[in-house]
Structure 1
Amino acid sequence: MSEQSIQSAPGVNFDTPAVLRYRNVRKIKDKTARYGIATGGLGVIAAILLIFFYLLYEVMPLFQSPEVELERSYNMPVASANSLYVTMEEQAEIGMQVSSAGEAVFFNTEDGAIRKTIALPVEPGVTVTSAAPMAAGNNMMIAGLSNGSVIVFKHEYRITWPNDQRLITPLLTFPYGEEPIVLEAGASLDKVAVRDAEEQLIVAGASGSDLFMVRFLKEEDFLTEEITLEREEVSLPFSGAAARSLLLEPDLNWLYVLSGTDTLTQIDIRSGQPFVEKSYALTAGKNEVTELQLLLGGISLLAGDSNGRISQWFMATNAAGEDELTEIRSFQQGDAAITRIIPEHRRKGFLALDAEGVLGLYNTTASRQVMTLSVTEGVVDQAGLAPRADALVLGTGNQMHLWSVENEHPEVSWSALWDEVWYESYDEPEYIWQSSASNNDFEPKLSLMPLAFGTLKAAFYAMLLAAPLAICGAIYTAYFMAPAMRRKVKPVIELMEALPTVILGFLAGLWLAPFVENNLPAIFSLLLLMPFGILLFAFIWDRLPLNVRTVVPEGWQAGLLIPVVILVAWICLAISGSLEGVFFGGDMRSWITKDLGISYDQRNALVVGLAMGFAVIPTIFSIAEDAIFSVPKHLSYGSLALGATPWQTLTKVVLLTASPGIFSAVMIGMGRAVGETMIVLMATGNTPIMDANIFEGMRTLAANIAVEMPESEVGSSHYRILFLAALVLFIFTFVVNTLAELVRHRLRQKYSSL
């Protein structure tokens, strides 16, 4: 009936004040509900987008290109011909040059103004012929003299705040005295090296093809803590061409000597009588090695050759089970010879300069050439890198050039995050997550593969338990169970979802994990005997007389399974010890480890599957049960009326109609399992390993974020990679839910005609 006809109906007035007020109130309520629901929906979408863009905002700096810019050019404090070594202090405000005249010249990096000049304790007429740092990132240095002696010293910088202004005062200290250490009287030392360890100090030098080394054993006075040195002469077994480079390994196991075109001699110096461990041809005789340096930590050697190639070498076990120096990876900068390699002080990266004045930035862990840039038109005479790798000084002729370097995250690349990486001290490439260690020389291992694998592993074992139980329970509750019983069972199962996961994780870690370990035969026999026991009881029940079966009202038969489940569980626990003694020698865990060769961790995927499956069951059950119960009754009644059995009606009509909802329940449950944090954090060993073994633990993306985010340095690569892990988890969930929605939509279209 139209509004006009209603208005014209006799005896009815729709324009009374009460009716008009009612209309206005209803209109306001309708608009409020409409805009409120729309605002809420748009707010949810906006919140999700904001989360996504915030994660993207934190992750994007990982993939920004580095920048190297020339800041200043000025005259050098010491002519490059007389400069043997250049470096900078922490703030990159003061540089230091060691000259052949035996002076340490400190200057402002901004303008070259000399701040301080300190003379080394060199006798008159003696010059400094070589200088080298002990290691990348270490302020201890050694200077070789023309009379065969060496001086060990440190350049240090004292910071004070007069008048609230920072003042950096440079100074030299001599930890083992100012008296030069004689290596070989009268020999001009072309190359020198020093290593200071807890128990000994080793000094080495080369004059042509002659090598010299002195070992000082340290003795500390218990009362005064004063250290005295006991000198020990060491004869080095080396005969060959002139030594072009000397490098001492930090653990004082080997001395590396570069001679000839590409011959590297590895000398074992651990014993009192050193011996040649092995000799290596670093370029197989094809090119000349023009530069050799140790990477931060002293494990890896970096060799640059005359063809612009830089190779990384470290000790690894070969196919014969022997440790040998192995080429791990290489970088090609260009065609010009590499003239300088400068290791970074705090990362596994380095800078390289070639004969054409091209600067290259590299990171070894990421196998990444970060960038190359032409900085001069010829050979760079001297180069020094700031400890933070944010500034670089280059000396050419009489000029010094200060460059700013912005290279925050060179260790991040696709291969470092997702591919196998050959890390230092490993025998082969592996997937490893190890973000921190106790020393600054540590090589961060930031592969996300173990975390992604652990996430899927935990979700798989949880869904393996939860999905069948939840779906079968939902089918029975919605289709077969009596309504009165359903009204009691369904709320109880849904109430399980309110249990905090931290409680489940706590119980799983402290009670369930030891229980499973001590009752492994019972757990596995329970998984086998429980289905068999239930089916056997069902078979017996179906064979009982009808008058016995009708005692239990229709739909209440599930209650009879409670004592069956309890009885089967009790039997499995009772026979656990006997099974363990008969089949597994009294200890199933040892049998698994020793006889099967399968490692066993107390907090493992089996425990996670049981605990997290328990947490996921209510989610899947509730949604699937609602979907099955919501199938129109006329469909099932019509099927039964046409002669189909209840089981045929269930499988051919009800489940097909409810399949979109059941599929949604499974996918939502999987999303819950993928994003779970506390259970996997407390119920696993939290070890980031890639092993499908059900008896091994894992670490998931969510648990890793929860564990390491509070300890990560804001803005660091570690910090941003944790955000990248969160973004990966976000995208994974979004993609899975999107695909699930598409599949659900297709299922709804396919079976909507039923």
Structure 2
Amino acid sequence: MPGNGKTLYLAMEEQAEIGLRLTDAAELVFFDTRSGEIVKQQALALPEGADITSVSSFSEARRLFAVGLSDGSALVMRHDYKSSYPDGERVITPEIAWPLGEAPIPVGNLPLDVLAVNGDGDDWRLVGGSQGSLTQTDVSLTENFLTGEVDTEIDTQALPNQSVKPTKLLLMPDRRWLLMAAPGGKLAVEDLQSADGASTTQVMTASTGEIRTFELLLGGSSLMLADDRGVVSQWFLVRDDQGEWQLTRIRSFDSGGEPLAGFAIEHRRKGFATVDADGTLRLFNTTAERNVLSEQVTEGAIDQIAYAPRSNALLLEQDGELRFWAVHNEHPEISWAALWSKVWYEGYEEPAYVWQSSASTNDFEPKYSLMPLAFGTLKAAFYAMLLATPLAICGAIYTAYFMAPGLRRKVKPMIELMEALPTVILGFLAGLWLAPFMELNLAAVFITLLLVPLSILAFAFVWAQMPNRIRFLLPEGWDVTLLVPVVILAVMLSFAIAGPIENLLFGGDMRLWVSQELGISYDQRNALVVGIAMGFAVIPTIFSITEDAIFAVPKSLSYGSLALGATPWQTLVRVVMPTASPGIFSAVMIGMGRAVGETMIVLMATGNTPIMDVNIFEGMRTLAANIAVEMPESEVGSTHFRILFLAAFVLFMFTFVVNTLAESIRQHLRQKYGSL
């Protein structure tokens, strides 16, 4: 064992090559983790007669820790490491930095049997004491820009008598919430910034045993508890129905049922390691709620455990001996539940499906739920097919069965030519023109969707009542051309009457009325825009295949039906359509595959918000669009990178399953109607 004395604090540097021991002899010992050779040894300059009574490791990620002394003062330290390359070889030089200065900070008059510290930059807070009597000390650092000297202001105040006698303290990063562990498995929460002064807001029995481990997870939002019965649980603050913050138990982890001898938090991930009294090491991830490893590493209990910053090594101390273990634990934050089930993330009021792959802070908890992306994919495809399927199939029926051959030769190539239009153009038009146009003319759009079909039906009825001498002025199969001016006039009428109707029914602004009166949020780039834009992209595919399938039905079947007295409509419904149904069904499935896999339109016209909302006025993010957006920025080989490939595989599997099911149905239809 490098150095003398009992280990109070154990840590490693970035490369896991240099370890640090703080001993009860007030010595800081830096040593080589492979050989145990002492690299540097430094004694703490404690006040005369003072001893170390407590150690607080409050930020492993920033390498910060503090020691409480028997005279009521505290020292805050950070272990730093500098790399140099003399003669081409790397040399790591350890040193100790003093964020609050080398002089001890007075906290109270009693020995600091318990101590909690947190802060950053110029503002720090220390809470400590003993026998249930706690003192709060706020430290403010001010640097003189001319001389470079740092002035330290210290404000100390006694906290009210505690309802419990804490055995362990933790101060959350906002320096507002003080968490206290007490005998009997008690857990108390104190609000240090309450309007009426510091007050205890919550006291509960967190465990049926005694609390042995009391640590904050990376980021300081989650509290990790472990009792003498081996039960490990995660807690964080959640607002209740009255808007009050309550420390809530979120999840528990199976640690084998044995008392824990060691507990270590990962520095850069939401994970932790435990070693029980039998020497079994277990690695956990809180987000995925999974135990990624269980392995016997020692015989009997250990004394100390330390995680390397990169989570690639563990340092164990047992009976005065140090053991160094390499750890290979890639992508522990992924599990079936993390991908497809609701997860209760830090800062959320309840479990939710969330996709958020990055943030501006290293304390971020990755959220890799694929449910919002799968939902967005199906939502976009649904609205696109809702528009495209009836228009394409009905158009194909008329073109193949009723339209004059001369007109068909002009219409069919024109519609099929639409398929050659790049989808990026449609997406560009949808995002920059159609979306704002629909926002300004929402009432007119809905009136058009109602009035145009009614106008077509009304004109068809009137045309059917016309005398034959007028109807026969147009050759058979050319009467559809009369609908062109009807549709144009119906659209113009819709926009003309939209203003008065909107003023009468919606107070002059339908979009505002939908938001305020119905409580339905409106996003400019929404599912309605995507449905219209992507619908026009899918229509040529469905139309072309459906039209070919109907036109390919042998004329002998139609002539035979007509000769037996059936009307053209009866022939279409009972003979032609059943015979062509395999082809029509294939057309719909191919169109759906095109809608599911579409990228550019949904990328440019949806707002790319990965939310699960059936609201037609809200956006979404699809699997294909998410891959296109995030793949260029993901780190190769990272969890994020692999999840994007998994999303592509999910997209493939979806289309594969749908196409397999469609093929089986198509074969069934062919066998059923093949004898006609």
Band of TM-score, shorter chain:
over 0.9
Displacement, 1:360?
1.8
User: Is this contact kept in 2: 1:205–1:213, CA < 8 A?
Assistant: yes
1:351 to 273, 288, 306: 273
Residue 637 of structure 1: aligned partner: 559
Of stretches 233-242 and 710-719 in structure 1, the one that deviates more from structure 2 is 233-242
2:641 to 719, 725, 728: 719
User: Is this contact kept in 1: 2:202–2:246, CA < 8 A?
Assistant: no
Residue 162 of structure 1: aligned partner: 86
- One-letter code of the match for 1:204? V
1:159-308 alignment runs, 5 A limit:
159-185=83-109, 187-198=110-121, 200-221=123-144, 227-239=150-162, 242-270=165-193, 274-283=197-206, 286-308=208-230
Displacement, 1:222?
5.5
Other structure's SS at 2:167 match: strand
Displacement, 1:275?
2.0
CA distance in 2, matches of 1:145, 1:376: 33
Residue 379 of structure 1: aligned partner: 301
C-alpha deviations, 1:155-176, integer Å up to 9, x for none? 1111122222222111111233
Displacement, 1:318?
2.6
Q: 1:224 to 1:709 in 2, by over 3 A?
A: farther
Displacement, 1:273?
7.0
Residue 3 of structure 2: aligned partner: 78
Residue 318 of structure 2: aligned partner: 396
For the aligned residue pairs, the C-alpha RMSD in angstroms reads 1.7
C-alpha deviations, 1:332-386, integer Å up to 9, x for none? 2123223433111111111122233222211111121222222223221111100
2:370 to 448, 452, 455: 448
CA distance in 2, matches of 1:514, 1:404: 57
User: Is this contact kept in 2: 1:143–1:151, CA < 8 A?
Assistant: yes
1:524-673 alignment runs, 5 A limit:
524-673=446-595
CA distance in 2, matches of 1:697, 1:355: 52
CA distance in 2, matches of 1:607, 1:224: 62
Other structure's SS at 1:243 match: coil
User: Is this contact kept in 2: 1:118–1:172, CA < 8 A?
Assistant: no
Other structure's SS at 2:287 match: coil
CA distance in 1, matches of 2:196, 2:388: 66
CA distance in 2, matches of 1:112, 1:148: 34
User: Is this contact kept in 2: 1:126–1:145, CA < 8 A?
Assistant: yes
Unaligned runs of 5+ in 1: 1-75
Residue 95 of structure 1: aligned partner: 19
User: Is this contact kept in 1: 2:209–2:227, CA < 8 A?
Assistant: yes
Q: 1:136 to 1:577 in 2, by over 3 A?
A: farther
1:703 aligns with 2:625: yes
- One-letter code of the match for 1:103? E
- Higher RCO structure (Cα 8 Å, ≥6 apart): 1
Residue 44 of structure 2: aligned partner: 120
Q: 1:431 to 1:216 in 2, by over 3 A?
A: same
Of stretches 289-298 and 666-675 in structure 1, the one that deviates more from structure 2 is 289-298
Unaligned runs of 5+ in 2: none
User: Is this contact kept in 1: 2:184–2:205, CA < 8 A?
Assistant: no
Displacement, 1:458?
0.4
Q: TM-score, normalised by structure 2?
A: 0.97
1:431 aligns with 2:353: yes
Other structure's SS at 1:583 match: helix
User: Is this contact kept in 1: 2:125–2:136, CA < 8 A?
Assistant: yes
- One-letter code of the match for 2:594? R
- One-letter code of the match for 1:635? L
1:498 to 410, 413, 420: 420
Identity of aligned residues (%): 59
CA distance in 2, matches of 1:539, 1:626: 29
Other structure's SS at 2:59 match: coil
Other structure's SS at 1:387 match: coil
Residue 60 of structure 2: aligned partner: 136
C-alpha deviations, 1:616-665, integer Å up to 9, x for none? 00110111111111111111112112221111111111111111111000
Q: 1:158 to 1:701 in 2, by over 3 A?
A: same
1:311 aligns with 2:233: yes
Residue 28 of structure 2: aligned partner: 104
Residue 74 of structure 2: aligned partner: 150
CA distance in 2, matches of 1:624, 1:454: 27
User: Is this contact kept in 1: 2:227–2:259, CA < 8 A?
Assistant: yes
- Between structure 1 and structure 2, the one with the greater Rg is 1
User: Is this contact kept in 2: 1:302–1:312, CA < 8 A?
Assistant: yes
CA distance in 2, matches of 1:699, 1:226: 53
- One-letter code of the match for 2:478? W
Displacement, 1:212?
2.5
CA distance in 2, matches of 1:723, 1:296: 27
User: Is this contact kept in 2: 1:380–1:396, CA < 8 A?
Assistant: yes
User: Is this contact kept in 2: 1:287–1:307, CA < 8 A?
Assistant: yes
Of stretches 451-460 and 523-532 in structure 1, the one that deviates more from structure 2 is 523-532
1:509 to 427, 431, 449: 431
Of stretches 715-724 and 264-273 in structure 1, the one that deviates more from structure 2 is 264-273
CA distance in 1, matches of 2:599, 2:45: 62
CA distance in 1, matches of 2:524, 2:147: 49
Other structure's SS at 2:184 match: coil
1:674-753 alignment runs, 5 A limit:
674-753=596-675
CA distance in 1, matches of 2:628, 2:592: 20
Q: 1:273 to 1:595 in 2, by over 3 A?
A: closer
- One-letter code of the match for 1:151? L
Q: How many residues are matched?
A: 676
User: Is this contact kept in 2: 1:333–1:372, CA < 8 A?
Assistant: no
User: Is this contact kept in 2: 1:292–1:341, CA < 8 A?
Assistant: no
User: Is this contact kept in 2: 1:136–1:295, CA < 8 A?
Assistant: no
C-alpha deviations, 1:313-341, integer Å up to 9, x for none? 11112344432111111112123223433
CA distance in 2, matches of 1:125, 1:534: 98
Of stretches 219-228 and 672-681 in structure 1, the one that deviates more from structure 2 is 219-228
Displacement, 1:529?
1.0
CA distance in 2, matches of 1:406, 1:635: 69
